[in-house]
Amino acid sequence: MSELNEATNTTDGATPAPYLIDCSPLLAELPGASFDVPEFTLTSTSEGELIHTTVQARVDRTNRGVRLIAHVRGVQEGACARCLSPARAALETRIDEEVLEERHAQGEGERLGRGNSVDLGRIAVEGLDLVRRLVLHCDPLCPERCGHCGAPHQTEECPEREVDPRLAVLGSLLPPSGDQPEVKG
């Protein structure tokens, strides 16, 4: 066994399994033809969080390749940033993108791959990743945690909070109220 084979056997958890669509039958038809892709689901990870993706898609023939129109829904699963309990968020996005045949391809846009295939799985997961929550919280929102003692109250309301000694000194310098000297004119 060569080292190359071993390397290609390594699976990267961040790379979702591809979901390839063979566009050859559609490319044999005239522009305007279309087909519906059966709904499918994928699970991937993004920065340690699980993303379950459900894809409903249609592929249209264009005069330069195909156009992907997809409704992508997902559930992001991770930990609440406040209390570390399991938390989840619903994600949703739409994809409307033309994938060009190699002979019409220009720039950095999507183009048809080997055997006129499109990796709809990768495109859907990438689209959903753009609307992924950067910070997850419980829903309904859990109480804010205290920065002093970790209990579920705001830091300013913490009973264990100590008065800043510098503020205590300032307080002692203030004259007692109602003892202001009268100004005579």
Could you tell me where the DSSP H helices lie in 86-164? 120-129
Is 89:106 a contact under the CB 8 Å cutoff?
A: no
The single residue among 27, 83, 95, 105 that binds Zn ion, judged by CB under 5 A, is: 83
6 DSSP assignment? H
Of 102 and 157, CB closest to Zn ion = 157
- Binding of Zn ion by 71 (CB under 5 A): no
The single residue among 28, 90, 135, 149 that binds Zn ion, judged by CB under 5 A, is: 149
- Binding of Zn ion by 142 (CB under 5 A): yes
Backbone angle region of 139, left / alpha / beta, with phi > 0 → left and psi within -120 to 50 → alpha: beta
Name the minimum Å distance from CB 151 to Zn ion: 5
Backbone angle region of 89, left / alpha / beta, with phi > 0 → left and psi within -120 to 50 → alpha: beta
Name the minimum Å distance from CB 44 to Zn ion: 24
Name the minimum Å distance from CB 144 to Zn ion: 10
The single residue among 82, 88, 104, 145 that binds Zn ion, judged by CB under 5 A, is: 82
Tokens coding 143: 């109480």
- φ, ψ at 118 (rounded to 5°): -125, 130
- Binding of Zn ion by 148 (CB under 5 A): yes
Region of 14-22, 31-39, 74-82, 125-133 interacting with Zn ion (CB under 5 A): 74-82
